[in-house]
Amino acid sequence: MDYMTLIQLLDSTVRLATPLLLACLAGLFSERAGIFDIGLEGKMLAAAFFSAAVASLSGSVWIGLAAGIGASMALSIVHGVASITFRGNQLISGVAINFLAAGITVLIAQSWFRQGGRTPSLMGGGRFEAITLPGAEAIADVPIIGPLYSELISGHSILVYMAFAAVPLTWWLLYRTRFGLRLRAVGENPAAVDTAGVSVVGLRYAAVAICGVLCGIAGAYLSTALQAGFVKDMSAGRGFIALAALIFAKWRPWYALYSTLLFGLFGALETRPDVIESLIGIKMQGQLLGALPYIMTVIILAGFGGKAIPPRAGGEPYVKER
């Protein structure tokens, strides 16, 4: 495998890891506050549709992004009301959101556009274009450093850079601010937080809202940056892969980056079977390569990703003592 092939493979890894990273960070905020969210998949799917639909109708990808975030946050509020206010089963609420999003996106898409559940292809200002960073063209021909900067670091949409910037921001917010300390405490011992005079309900709703924003950006990336429009079930299980990556990362931001890049690499290898053949000397079928992320998801969820201890109050509704 030559150097340029490696750069291209890593470039695909970054692009495919971006929605997983955003969804993984979304789940991290929610689960750190004690709210398990199986509905990441549905939120991403709803955001992908409404981002593409509104961007197509308005001609502005930024309006589409706002619509996608709004759709994701609406589903987050539904999940919050069901699991926080009414103390319902968080897993069932998340599954219901997934089913709701899968059905309503196709129904509305067919009603609005009459294209079999798709949206029109996005062009021009209707989608996020690649950004060329300063100096990328000037050093493109410099050995080693040139392709690394111009091909791998430069040339992505703004949402990719936002996703990677969200990792240190999440770390700082969770571990260097009072809000983050309280958020983590809510997921471990909500009664102690309540005793200190801090609203458990308020903090959990804040976490669910942040989860909605990040899932909205992840969904918008799928339909307005990675692709140029919405197609049925385009999230393709990424929400569940993000949950597996979150467990693999042990609910830590930097580990979430590494685990989602690993899953992104598996996705990138699907499109480059020649790389696998050159490395191990065995020609693998594309279907098997395409199944690798899902196989890894099953393995990790089965407990082979190391001992991962979730927040102690995760999945449990908080009932205030009288």
DSSP 156: B
Domains located in the chain, CATH noted: 3-304 (1.10.3470)
| Average pLDDT over the chain, rounded to an integer | 89
Q: What burial class does residue 75 get, using C-beta atoms within 10 Å of its C-beta: 0-12 exposed, 13-18 middle, 19+ buried?
A: buried
Instruction: Check residue 279 and give its pLDDT.
Output: 61
Instruction: Check residue 106 and give its pLDDT.
Output: 93
Question: Residue 200 pLDDT more than 90?
Answer: yes
Give the whole-angstrom CA distance, residue 88 versus residue 188: 19
Give the whole-angstrom CA distance, residue 87 versus residue 39: 16
Instruction: Check residue 2 and give its pLDDT.
Output: 78
Question: Residue 1 pLDDT more than 80?
Answer: no
Q: What percent of the chain clears pLDDT 70, i.e. is strictly above it?
A: 90
Question: Residue 275 pLDDT more than 60?
Answer: yes
| Higher pLDDT, residue 277 or 133 | 133
SS3 content of the chain, % helix, strand, coil (to 5): 70, 0, 30
Instruction: Check residue 190 and give its pLDDT.
Output: 93
> In the predicted model, what is the mean pLDDT of residues 185-211?
93
Rg value, the chain, Cα: 20
Give the whole-angstrom CA distance, residue 157 versus residue 111: 30
Element (H, E) at 296: helix 286-299
Q: Please indicate, yes or no, whether the overall pTM of this predicted structure exceeds 0.75.
A: yes
